[in-house]
């Protein structure tokens, strides 16, 4: 069982370039999230989705966009990359509701450097 899969694992971008971080999960979870992790700052929520076709902003959405066309996939797009977007990005998913414990399942992360 693959769980949450993120690609690519590493990427270097030049300022102003754009790219998409891919995330897919095979657990049929409705809820998916993108976090960024910066040293000493913990995890900050960028965007999340409660189901196909529904997305919402988190704490730090500026400079990013998301879409959710299927239950499985939740790509994160960076437009006009800036050095401030150098970070490690984590995709996560979970299920909520009766019987669920609400824990997040994480991908292994995508390390992005913007030069």
Which residues bind to another protein, rule: CB under 8 A? 30-31, 33, 35, 40-43, 45, 48, 50, 56, 58, 90, 92, 94-98, 100-104, 106-109
Chain mean position to CA 33: 5
Q: Any residues with CB less than 8 A from the CB of 16 and at least 6 apart, and which? A: 80, 81
Least CB distance to another protein at residue 98 (A): 8
Least CB distance to another protein at residue 52 (A): 14
Nearer to another protein by C-beta: 62 or 103? 103
Q: Is 59 exposed, middle or buried (0-12, 13-18, 19+ CB in 10 A)?
A: exposed
Nearer to another protein by C-beta: 68 or 94? 94
As a whole number of angstroms, the distance between CA 46 and CA 22 comes to: 14
Least CB distance to another protein at residue 82 (A): 23
Nearer to another protein by C-beta: 80 or 100? 100
Nearer to another protein by C-beta: 50 or 115? 50
CA distances from 6 to 22, 35, 39, 73, 100 (A): 6, 12, 20, 10, 24
85: three-class secondary structure by DSSP: helix
Least CB distance to another protein at residue 18 (A): 25
């Amino acid at each position: 069982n693959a769980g949450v899969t993120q690609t690519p694992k590493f990427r270097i971008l030049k300022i102003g370039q754009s790219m998409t971080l891919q995330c897919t999960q095979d657990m049929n979870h409705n809820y998916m999230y993108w976090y960024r992790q910066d040293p000493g700052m913990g995890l900050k929520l960028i965007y999340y989705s409660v189901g196909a076709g529904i997305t919402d902003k988190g704490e730090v959405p500026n400079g990013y966009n998301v879409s959710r066309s299927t239950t499985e996939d939740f790509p994160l797009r960076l437009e006009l990359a800036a050095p401030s977007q150098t970070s490690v990005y984590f995709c996560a998913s979970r299920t909520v509701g009766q019987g669920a414990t609400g824990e997040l399942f994480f991908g292994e992360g995508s390390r992005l450097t913007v030069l």
